[in-house]
Chain A
Amino acid sequence: MGTQLSFDRGSAEALSVSKQEPTWLTVRRAEAAEKAQTLDWPQPEKMRIARWNLEAFGNYKAAEPAAGTAELPAALQELLSKEEDASGLLVQRNSSRVLNRMNEKLAAKGVIFTDLETAAREHVELVQKHLFSVVDPYTDKLTARHAALWTGGVFVYVPKNVEVELPLQALLYSDDAEATFAPHILLIADTNSRVTYVDNVVSAFAGEVAPSVHQSVTEVIVKAGARVQFATVHHLAESVTDLSVRRAKVEQDGRIEWIVGDLHDGNILSDTVSVLEGSGATSDAKVITIGARAQKMSVTTQAVHVGRSTDSNMVTRAVMKEQATAIINGITKIEKGATKANGVQTEKVLMLSPKARGDANPILLIDEDDVTAGHAASVGQVNPEQIHYLMSRGIAKEDAERLIIYGFLAPVVSEVPIPSVREQLQRLLERKLES
């Protein structure tokens, strides 16, 4: 198998040099590669990811630039908004960016939307300062390895007081299982700015392919008074292991809204954390996931309250089919001094098969007295009384079940604030539920 690669300081350095990256980045990559050798894989609750295929991270392969979206596979074109409905578009194929465009008026206002490799050369100060400022690259083997070999990626910078009305859209796809697919997303929303970022992480393989890994790290920096909506929908093939770590750091009165659609067909480690540093900072996370076949999923959302009067809300809904296993963790962490903080979380799992497994673990870690926190978690099956009620009105059993399953997800889907993402989520989750 050609997907395996021994990765060490030397090869990380050599790759970075061959790509003519700035020296500071080459040095960082080399150090991270070395650290990765000794660090352990992350150990999420009740899920032994060390058993997964984590090594198939492939080789860096630069893809040919595309002249336009018409050159993309048809199935991927469907995922894109119309040009006039987005402020910009970036497409990464395997290891590198192949397409990038942005509204010129926004560019004139100083908004930056490009791949992270380019940004590391052209916007050194911003990137050098903020890259891995939210996620510690030496947290574990996953983050260290990512720091060593991330490729392509997305960089967003929105200057002070600038509002980006229409979403910035990224399409990150893999069509070569032997190519490294490890985008790093760095989004900086400066003071009082507004931005919506939407991406799709997908695969477009022709037929059966060898196992591969998608590993991404997202860092979002929300400065004072800024507001970021970050929506990401993953639907890669079963052969792909998806390892996605997302962190937002939110300063005073800033707000982060996450929308995560984990509709991927392979194993998933999905970890989304909002760190509410400044007073009055708020976060909202909506996560929808559907498990099927023998899929294993570890899906965690976390809110860390550091600042006073911070507020977090997290909702996760999971539907589990066949033999799928999901461990859904919700962590509300309130640090000492975060007075008047309020954290609320709900995890609900609907089991459609006796062989499926779903755990919902609400975890509250509270070190301050003057706070409020709430949690609700449930794991259950389709209620036979509800089925009976619908059937008693003439609705066939399978239609009744479908209504109830979609109804389970609807309260979260319907609150997704970005219409295009809402519709896409609905379509993709229907596809996965009906398959």
Chain B
Amino acid sequence: MSTKFVVNGLKAEIEGKEILKGIDLNIKGGEIHAIMGPNGTGKSTLASALMGHPKYEVTSGTATLNDEDLLEMEVDARARAGLFLAMQYPSEITGVTNSDFLRSAINARRGEGNEISLIKFIRQMEGKMKELDMNPEFAHRYLNEGFSGGEKKRNEILQMLLLEPKITILDEIDSGLDIDALKIVAAGVNAMRSEERGFLIITHYQRLLNYITPDYVHVMMQGRIVKSGGPELAQRLEDEGYDWVKEELGIVDETVGKA
């Protein structure tokens, strides 16, 4: 079955302040959607709310993955259903090695009695780390502890490659990456492209989209998607900035949820 990810009228708030004011998205397997927009317009909130971060409360709307209601699920069940969020600020967890963590995550998906063999796991992990040009030593380091910004981002992509999600949300994966790392990350994403998988790429800049060509580009302002188009939209935003969009739509302050 081809993947189908549908978000409908999603509203969410944080500490009583509404940030998302009705988001609609429809991502099919094989498609890459990009959400662009200036800071403070609700892009990361969308990612966090979909994953189920406890700080965000969804007040109305739906989100389904292959007709399964994601919003009804606990965070871990959403992940096992096939949703993956590469986070902007991944947690550091002392004492838990990267490889133990990865294996736990893979086994959580496979279920009891169907655990991956250690040898197979190591082979897979080492193979993917090589693809991402990661030092093998990172397998034995504590999860994200003492990783640089770029190393953390690569580690997020490593998880994506190993967990093979149906829908991947990349939340500003490009921030803090130099151009070489950006290319490696993009190659990782491109290697995952298939009819089975959809992507939602959240970014400020068009830079990443030079390496991952999106099918659809959406502009987010004031907690809504205010404009959608093809890859040419991203290019125009890169060349001209966001002011023309604001002008066109009569928006003065594009941010949302400010006190």
CB contact list, B28-83 vs A, under 8 A: 51-54, 74-76, 78-80
Q: Which residues of B contact A396 (CB under 8 A)?
A: 76, 108
Question: Complex: how many Å from CA A237 to CA B139?
Answer: 39
Q: Which residues of A contact B96 (CB under 8 A)?
A: 403-404, 406-407, 410
CB-based contact B142/A393 at 8 Å: no
Q: Which residues of A contact B52 (CB under 8 A)?
A: 392
CB-based contact A407/B142 at 8 Å: yes
> Beta-carbon contacts of B81-121 to A below 8 Å, as 1s and 0s?
00011010011011110001100110011000000000000
Known contacts A403-B100, A407-B93; decide if A395 and B76 are in contact (CB<8 Å): yes
Query: Which residue on chain A has the smallest CB distance to residue B79?
Result: A394
Which one, A150-158, A293-301, A379-387, is touching chain B? A379-387
Query: Which residue on chain A has the smallest CB distance to residue B95?
Result: A407
B27 at the interface (CB under 8 A from A): no
Report A416 CB to chain B, min CB distance, Å. 14
Q: Give the residue of A385, A403, A409, A411 whose beta carbon is less than 8 angstroms from that of B101.
A: A403
CB-based contact B95/A391 at 8 Å: no
CB-based contact B163/A391 at 8 Å: no
Q: Give the residue of A397, A399, A410 whose beta carbon is less than 8 angstroms from that of B104.
A: A399
Query: Which residue on chain A has the smallest CB distance to residue B93?
Result: A386
B159 at the interface (CB under 8 A from A): yes
Report B104 CB to chain A, min CB distance, Å. 5
CB-based contact B91/A395 at 8 Å: no
Q: Which residues of B contact A400 (CB under 8 A)?
A: 76
A388 at the interface (CB under 8 A from B): yes
Query: Which residue on chain A has the smallest CB distance to residue B110?
Result: A394
Report B36 CB to chain A, min CB distance, Å. 23
CB-based contact B79/A393 at 8 Å: yes
Q: Which residues of A contact B108 (CB under 8 A)?
A: 393-396, 399
Question: Complex: how many Å from CA A8 to CA B75?
Answer: 65
Question: Complex: how many Å from CA A384 to CA B78?
Answer: 17
Query: Which residue on chain A has the smallest CB distance to residue B94?
Result: A407
Q: Which residues of B contact A394 (CB under 8 A)?
A: 76, 79-80, 105, 108-109, 163
Question: Complex: how many Å from CA A396 to CA B107?
Answer: 11
Report B164 CB to chain A, min CB distance, Å. 11
Question: Complex: how many Å from CA A408 to CA B95?
Answer: 6
Query: Which residue on chain A has the smallest CB distance to residue B80?
Result: A394
Report A5 CB to chain B, min CB distance, Å. 46
Report B44 CB to chain A, min CB distance, Å. 14
CB-based contact A389/B105 at 8 Å: no
A390 at the interface (CB under 8 A from B): yes
Question: Complex: how many Å from CA A411 to CA B143?
Answer: 13
Report B135 CB to chain A, min CB distance, Å. 20
Q: Give the residue of B54, B84, B159 whose beta carbon is less than 8 angstroms from that of A384.
A: B54
Q: Which residues of B contact A410 (CB under 8 A)?
A: 94-96
Question: Complex: how many Å from CA A404 to CA B159?
Answer: 18
CB-based contact A404/B104 at 8 Å: no
Number of A-B residue pairs at CB separation under 8 A:
82
Query: Which residue on chain A has the smallest CB distance to residue B105?
Result: A393
- Residues of B in contact with A, size category: 20 to 34
Query: Which residue on chain A has the smallest CB distance to residue B106?
Result: A394
CB-based contact B93/A404 at 8 Å: yes
CB-based contact A389/B91 at 8 Å: yes
Query: Which residue on chain B has the smallest CB distance to residue A405?
Result: B95
Q: Which residues of B contact A392 (CB under 8 A)?
A: 51-52, 75-76, 78-79, 84-85, 87
Question: Complex: how many Å from CA A127 to CA B139?
Answer: 51
Report B101 CB to chain A, min CB distance, Å. 7
Report B171 CB to chain A, min CB distance, Å. 11
Most buried by B among A384, A385, A389, A397: A389
Q: Which residues of A contact B53 (CB under 8 A)?
A: 388
Question: Complex: how many Å from CA A406 to CA B142?
Answer: 12
Most buried by A among B51, B90, B105, B163: B105
Report B46 CB to chain A, min CB distance, Å. 15
CB-based contact B74/A391 at 8 Å: yes
CB-based contact B91/A403 at 8 Å: no
CB-based contact A403/B93 at 8 Å: yes
Query: Which residue on chain A has the smallest CB distance to residue B53?
Result: A388
Q: Which residues of A contact B105 (CB under 8 A)?
A: 390, 393-395
Report B91 CB to chain A, min CB distance, Å. 4
Q: Which residues of B contact A385 (CB under 8 A)?
A: 91
Question: Complex: how many Å from CA A393 to CA B87?
Answer: 11
Q: Which residues of B contact A408 (CB under 8 A)?
A: 94-95
CB contact list, B106-160 vs A, under 8 A: 108-109, 142, 159
CB-based contact B94/A397 at 8 Å: no
Report A195 CB to chain B, min CB distance, Å. 30
Question: Complex: how many Å from CA A157 to CA B79?
Answer: 59
Question: Complex: how many Å from CA A44 to CA B163?
Answer: 51
Q: Which residues of A contact B54 (CB under 8 A)?
A: 384, 388
Q: Which residues of B contact A407 (CB under 8 A)?
A: 93-96, 142
Question: Complex: how many Å from CA A195 to CA B101?
Answer: 37
Q: Which residues of A contact B51 (CB under 8 A)?
A: 392
Known contacts A384-B54, A388-B53, A389-B87; decide if A397 and B76 are in contact (CB<8 Å): yes
Question: Complex: how many Å from CA A393 to CA B162?
Answer: 11
Report A233 CB to chain B, min CB distance, Å. 20
Q: Which residues of A contact B109 (CB under 8 A)?
A: 394
Question: Complex: how many Å from CA A384 to CA B90?
Answer: 13
Question: Complex: how many Å from CA A390 to CA B104?
Answer: 9
Report A409 CB to chain B, min CB distance, Å. 7
CB-based contact B79/A403 at 8 Å: no
CB-based contact A389/B79 at 8 Å: no
Chain B residues with a Cβ under 8 A of chain A: 51-54, 74-76, 78-80, 84-85, 87, 90-91, 93-96, 100-101, 104-105, 108-109, 142, 159, 163
**What are 13 pairs between A and B in contact, CB < 8 Å?**
A386-B93, A390-B105, A391-B76, A392-B79, A392-B84, A393-B101, A393-B159, A394-B80, A395-B104, A397-B74, A404-B93, A408-B95, A410-B94
Beyond the given pairs A393-B84, A393-B108, A395-B105, 8 more chain A to chain B contacts, judged by CB atoms under 8 angstroms and listed by A's residue number, are: A383-B91, A389-B90, A389-B91, A393-B79, A394-B163, A395-B79, A395-B104, A404-B96
Top 7 closest A-B pairs, CB basis?
A: A407-B95, A410-B95, A394-B79, A389-B91, A393-B105, A407-B96, A391-B75
